[in-house]
């Protein structure tokens, strides 16, 4: 057999390159297909409350569409920092959902957007108002408010609001100077202060013109068509040609960590931890100190005497040398039989066969086949031969 007739075990270089190209091509196809499918599917419509792209009951997509039909550009941002960067003269900044707006983010927003036309807090919740420190607070309110009763540009006399969530009240008994409350709510608290469903604050050095809205539900897809809601919010938000709508996400929360939170751990945690660590160290030192050094053991050589024989068996088995194993077994049996029958160690085969046949009463050809027959072809034949030899020896021992 020549070397050229044998196919090489390893792939040669051109075949390898072809196969690699094929694999890479398929991989590229799969990736491109995945990208196309993802682009076609697009992002699912968000379910968040007051989300400008939300088509559910709590979304405000209807309102945004109407604004866009009126020629207002609406940009949606998710970071307060982006909102600050996008705001400028001729811009109305709308803060929708305030769930993920931290106090730090709210303060930064207020201070950074002084150039904007107006900042509208569509959902003036108590936490945001507390954080902004405008001298105003919010509390849960009844659902309807009276007539507008203010002169703000976006309010027409006679407008009504039916879905009030927050009642905005001044903390100091009266509204800050220059500001104006709209839609006063009936009743008022124990101190007699009147609450409003919306408050207008003029721009100062520290913040732009602010509109705090306590009826966010009026902007949602579900309620925007109720009473005068649609006109109110469109006028409120459509005051400028450019609207930047901030819908803060969780990354914004991470970027602007809150400072107002109470520490969770008690004051002694730090020092206590130090003491516990030191105690643990002392414990480790106490337990780790050995009572005197380790004593070495002079170990003897450990070799099993039977190992050579076991290895020889393993060699026979690995080589599957039936002929050799059978020859060894036959020789050993012949030697023992000769000794048992009182024959000289070097007796010739025929004499041994005759003596064994006579002692056991078996046919000489049968004994000859056993002791001098052909080598067994497989393992099963070898096992049979070994058993038959044992049997023959037993027969000679106990005739």
Partner 1 sequence: MALTTRAAALLLLGLVPVVLRPAASTVLAWVVLWLLAVLADLVLAASPSALRLTREDPALQVRLGEPVSASLVLENTGGRHATGLLRDAWPPSAGGSPSRHGLAVPPGERRRVTTVLTPTRRGDRSADRVTVRLAGPLGLAARQRSVEVPGRVRVLHAFPSRRHLPSRLAVLRELDGRAAVRTRGQGTEFDSLRDYVDGDDVRSIDWRATARRRHLVVRTWQPEQHRRVVLVLDTGRTSAGRVGDAPRLDAAMDAALLLTALAGHAHDRVQVVAGDRRVHARVAGSDRARLLHDVISTLAPLDAQVVETDWGVLAAEVARSTHRSLVVLLTPLEPAAVEEGLLPALPTLVAHHRVVVASVSDPLVEAMRTAREGSAEVWDAAAAERTAALREGTAEALRRLGVDVLDAPPDELPVRLADHYLALKREGLL
Which residues here bind partner 1, judged by CB under 8 A?
A: 266-268, 270-272, 274-276, 278-280, 282-283, 285-287, 289, 291-293, 295-298, 300-310, 312-317, 324-326, 328-329, 331-332, 335, 379-380, 382-383, 386-387, 390
Output the smallest distance, CB 352 to partner 1, in A.
16
Asked if 51 and 96 touch (Cβ cutoff 8 Å), the reply is yes
Q: Which two tokens stand for residue 246?
A: 């901030």
DSSP 8-state assignment for residue 24: H
Output the smallest distance, CB 381 to partner 1, in A.
10
Pick between residue 175 and residue 382 the one whose CB is nearest to partner 1: 382
Give dist(CA 268, CA 265) in Å, integer.
8
Pick between residue 242 and residue 322 the one whose CB is nearest to partner 1: 322
Handedness of CA 205, 81, 65, 50 (dihedral sign): negative
Give dist(CA 220, CA 198) in Å, integer.
17
Output the smallest distance, CB 374 to partner 1, in A.
17
Distance (Å) of CA 359 to CA 125, 210, 367, 392, 395: 114, 125, 11, 10, 8
Handedness of CA 204, 119, 98, 217 (dihedral sign): positive
Pick between residue 186 and residue 332 the one whose CB is nearest to partner 1: 332
Distance (Å) of CA 252 to CA 113, 135, 244, 248, 284: 17, 26, 16, 6, 45
Pick between residue 43 and residue 293 the one whose CB is nearest to partner 1: 293
Pick between residue 13 and residue 303 the one whose CB is nearest to partner 1: 303
Strand partners for 181: 199
Handedness of CA 122, 162, 188, 203 (dihedral sign): positive
Pick between residue 248 and residue 382 the one whose CB is nearest to partner 1: 382
């Amino acid at each position: 057999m020549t070397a050229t007739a044998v196919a090489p075990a390893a792939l040669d270089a051109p075949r390898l390159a072809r196969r690699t190209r094929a694999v890479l091509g398929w991989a590229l196809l799969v990736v491109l297909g995945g990208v196309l499918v993802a682009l076609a599917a697009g992002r699912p419509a968000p379910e968040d409350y007051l989300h400008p792209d939300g088509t559910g009951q709590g979304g405000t997509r209807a309102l945004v569409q109407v604004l866009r039909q009126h020629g207002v550009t609406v940009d949606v941002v998710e970071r307060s920092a982006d909102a600050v960067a996008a705001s400028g003269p001729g811009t109305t900044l709308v803060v929708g959902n305030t769930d993920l707006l931290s106090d730090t983010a709210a303060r930064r927003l207020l201070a950074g957007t002084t150039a904007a036309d107006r900042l509208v807090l569509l959902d003036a919740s108590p936490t945001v108002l507390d954080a902004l420190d405008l001298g105003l607070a919010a509390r849960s309110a009844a659902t309807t408010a009276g007539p507008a009763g203010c002169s703000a540009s976006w309010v027409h006399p006679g407008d009504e609001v039916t879905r009030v969530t927050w009642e905005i009240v001044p903390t100091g008994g009266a509204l800050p100077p220059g500001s104006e409350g709209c839609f006063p709510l009936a009743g008022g608290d124990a101190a007699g202060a009147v609450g409003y469903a919306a408050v207008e604050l003029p721009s100062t050095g520290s913040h732009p013109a602010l509109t705090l809205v306590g009826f966010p539900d009026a902007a949602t897809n579900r309620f925007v068509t109720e009473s005068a809601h649609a006109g109110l919010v469109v006028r409120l938000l459509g005051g400028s040609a450019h609207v930047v709508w901030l819908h803060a996400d969780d990354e914004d929360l991470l970027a602007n960590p809150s400072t107002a939170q109470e520490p969770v751990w008690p004051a002694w945690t730090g020092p206590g931890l130090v003491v516990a660590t030191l105690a643990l160290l002392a414990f480790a030192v106490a337990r780790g100190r050995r009572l005197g050094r380790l004593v070495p053991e002079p170990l003897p050589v450990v070799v099993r005497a039977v190992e050579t024989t076991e290895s020889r068996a393993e060699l026979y088995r690995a080589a599957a040398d039936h002929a050799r194993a059978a020859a060894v077994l036959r020789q050993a049996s012949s030697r023992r039989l000769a000794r048992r029958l009182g024959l000289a160690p070097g007796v010739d085969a025929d004499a041994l066969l005759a003596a064994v046949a006579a002692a056991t009463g078996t046919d000489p050809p049968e004994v000859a086949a056993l002791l001098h027959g052909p080598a067994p072809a497989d393992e099963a034949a070898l096992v049979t031969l070994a058993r038959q030899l044992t049997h023959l020896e037993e027969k000679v021992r106990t005739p």
